[in-house]
Structure 1
Amino acid sequence: MLTREQKLVMLSTTLDMFLEGVFVTLSPISVQWPFVPGWAVPLLFIMMPIGTIIGNSTFGRLTDLRGRKLTYLSMLAVYAVGSALVILSSNIYELLAGLLIVYSAIGGEVPVVLSYLVESAPVNIKERVVVLITNVGNVGAVVAAALALMTSGLSVNAERLALGVLIGLAISVLVLTRSLVPESRPWASLPRERRGRVSLNYESARFALASLTLMAISSVLTFGLLALSIGPEEFPSLSNEILLVYFIGEVLGGFIAAYLVTYVGSKGFTLASYLGGLVTTVAAVLVLRLGPVPFLALLLANGVFTETVWASRNVLESLAFPTNFRGTGISLVRVAAYVMLAASYLVTASMTPVEYLMFAAAMWALGVGASLAWYARGPELVGAPLVNLPEEFKVRPPRRRWGQRGSDTG
């Protein structure tokens, strides 16, 4: 049975993820708003990595130093200001400012939510809790895309009103739930001098940081590629339908991940997910020429694998770092990935769809390599208790080469 505190954390973080999913769709939805000039469309999408970098580097660190609850509550004000600017914007500059603030809140909130979940959920279900609750973000994206699709035939004002009501209701409920959520007990039990202390002078931390960062770069640079970039460019009249199908695939992927990760284990499941993403991306090179229906079918499969990758990453990142710098560790991994995403716009801006897909395939291959390294040397974190001391997190030593002599001490 779950305690009252555990139920409050799960309810509140579920609503958080729903709202985050709604916010993720704001950039592609706002492309069609009449005051958005053509030159500003790339800026709408670059607000996400820039905002995420700001939020991760600021609030991810703050949650280790000052606690989960303080950071958690402060995010509400950021959300409210940013979403109001987006919904009420009358020019491109107000819209860009609102998107930057909203995505900063998303970037800062993810380390807090993941930390809260693994520090509150029972040991035997914590992986499923992380996967299922973060998957609610895809439900929010599906709802937002469906609203945009239903209201786009009326007017842009109707679309913005529907989104504004949805966001306003969600934030109103979050004010209540977040005020009731208690401070994380594992964080509160840490001695003050250990809170936020970062130690990377042991092998497991360096290995975790390097391999998880490479996995993050792979998945962040390929997230929503077919739905947010390639699809709308090739089939512009189906942009809302493309968003809807893709995020339905992600929702399905979340449920699949929640079921399989505890049976397959985080290591095998992560590797299989990256392989699936690579295969569907390579297949898209051929499917693009066959028309919208085959593309939508492949898009659904790609959405499934994209979500299983993100689900496996959420499990690994939330459990690989000790409580004293869990938020900081998650942020370091994600900041590096979003810096690379922002830089990649300079490289990919002039690419054709096929060239872009080949670039994405290379990024998926990077993730396959990093997940293979974790499979070979990383620990299996499913079912393991929370790691509070860095020394408790052991990395499997590399295999001894054939013919290599052991040490004299045995």
Structure 2
Amino acid sequence: MTRGEFKIVVLSGLGWMFDAMDVLILSYLLVAMREELALDRAASTLIVLANNLGMFLGAFLFGRLADVVGRKKVFMATMLLYSIVTAASAAARSWQEFAAIRFLVGVGLGGELPVVATYVSENSPPERRGRNVVLLESFWSIGALLAAAVSLFIFTTLGWRTALVLMGATAFYVFVIRSALPESQRWLERIKEGASAELKPYAARLAIASAIWFLLAFGYYGAFIWLPTMLSTERGFTQVATYEFMFLTTIAQLPGYFSAAYLVERVGRRPIAAAYFVASALSAVLLIYSTSYAQLFYAALALNFFNLGVWGVVYAYTPELFPTSIRGLATGLAGSAARIGMIIGPTLYPLWASVAFIGVAVAWLIASALVVLLPETKGREV
């Protein structure tokens, strides 16, 4: 990795980390706010729905905007939006108010992810492009650890409202992006040359990619959003024990990403994505049928390892499937399909409890079959 690549991956990754922390803190907030905001299962579901609807809208709008005004400007705008609104959500006095504000948070969160993945992909050479995007995605696990740490150490001492105000300070990172990161060189070349492409010839490819994104998010958010709740209500964990379990098992995400980053450039996008999808499905089944704390713990470790690894591969793979002039739009549309999965997936647990994890596993098995229908892009120019 060159010095310039390293700078782009790390500085973009820190923005990705803040996004992940803000997305995943919601699952802990549902536990922390339960008594103060009188949350029942229906209210919690509506909060999750509002957040995910916002992410759906943000992925579509900001993905298209990034093709028009540039990747860097949209990166800054989305971070500024979700940071400010996160701090504002600390003032919510009812779950209805919190849900409305969380919708706006979701718009910013959903907009950043596909744009930043496209940005890093376009600023990486073919032989390291997949690895660099997976490494970018690995910052998600650091954000997940931060979310768990904030819940464990700040929720339990200073309270969840104080934590949200402190998280709003991520808005200042916009100044780092503005001064330290260049605009995407491929996007600038496309603007200079006036090159354009139609989305229609890529419709079938987009449909398959979108279906994979939908199934991936359907399973991930269907499982991880409710996992703390499942531990506390079905397994009898205390609030502190729940946060400790989540914190420790989340550590497995980092080696999951690093293994995918290593294999994606040596084996290829398709085989690694398919294998990690299958392993994720098996881990989800083992999780719900575990009969001891040790079995539960190791199943959660495996789920974190393989599922977050496949997220990295899919984020690296998708921008490579489309030309520059429609890359932001196509990646954003695939991201919007993921947000639909985010909306539908978390509704299973309130209906079926832990049996919903079987539906999660089936979704990931279908995704593993769809991956093989896409062309391999390892080492190719985009």
Residue 250 in structure 1 maps to residue 273 in structure 2: no
1:173-322 residue pairs with structure 2 within 5 A?
173-191=173-191, 197-201=197-201, 205-230=202-227, 232-233=229-230, 234-235=234-235, 236-237=237-238, 238-287=241-290, 290-322=291-323
Corresponding residue to 1:100 among 84, 100, 103: 103
Q: Which amino acid in the other structure matches residue 53 of structure 1?
A: F
Distance in 1, matches of 2:263 and 2:346, equals 35
Q: CA–CA distance in 2 between the matches of 1:56 and 1:196?
A: 21
The answer to whether the Cα contact below 8 Å between 1:27 and 1:99 also exists between their aligned partners in 2 is no
Q: Which sections of structure 2, spanning at least 5 residues, go unmatched? A: none
Q: Which residue of 1 aligns with 2:358?
A: 358
Counterparts of 1:193 and 1:43, CA distance in 2:
46
Tell me which stretches of 4 or more aligned residues in structure 1 moved more than 6 Å: none
Query: Aligned-pair RMSD on alpha carbons?
Result: 2.4
Write the letter of the residue equivalent to 1:208.
R
Where do 5+ consecutive residues of structure 1 fail to align?
387-410
Q: Structure 1 residues 62, 36: CA separation in 2 closer, same or farther (over 3 Å shift)?
A: farther
Bigger CA radius of gyration: 1
CA distance in 2: counterparts of 1:249 and 1:263, whole angstroms? 22
Alignment match of 1:61 (pick from 64, 69, 72): 64
Aligned to 2:27: 28
Contact 1:227 1:242 in 2 (8 A): no
TM-score (normalised: structure 2): 0.89
CA apart distance, 1:306: 0.6
| Structure 1 contact 144–163 (Cα < 8 Å) conserved | no
After superposition, the C-alpha distances for 1:135-177 in whole angstroms (9 at most, x for unaligned) are 1121012022112112344352xx4434533541x33133232
Compared CA separation, residues 231 and 298, structure 1 to 2 (3 A): farther
Which deviates further from its counterpart, 92-101 or 63-72?
Answer: 92-101
TM-score scaled by length of structure 1: 0.83
The one-letter code matched in structure 1 to 2:216 is S
Distance 2:98 2:195 in 1: 37
Partner Cα distance (1:219, 1:283) in 2: 18
Residue in 1 that maps onto 2:367: 367
Instruction: Name the residue aligned to 2:39.
Output: 37
Structure 2 partner of 1:394: none
**Amino acid of the residue matched to residue 307 of structure 2?**
T
CA distance in 2, matches of 1:311, 1:221: 16
Aligned CA distance change for structure 1 residues 138 and 190 (closer, same or farther; 3 Å): same
Distance 1:344 1:123, change over 3 A: closer
The separation in 2 between residues aligned to 1:36 and 1:318, in whole angstroms, is 42
Mapped to 2, the partners of 1:346 and 1:164 lie a distance apart of 29
Q: In structure 2, what is the equivalent of residue 12 of structure 1?
A: 11
- Between Structure 1 and Structure 2, how many residues are aligned? 372
- Evaluate the alpha carbon distance shift between residue 224 and residue 241 of structure 1 in structure 2; reply closer, same or farther with a 3 A threshold: farther
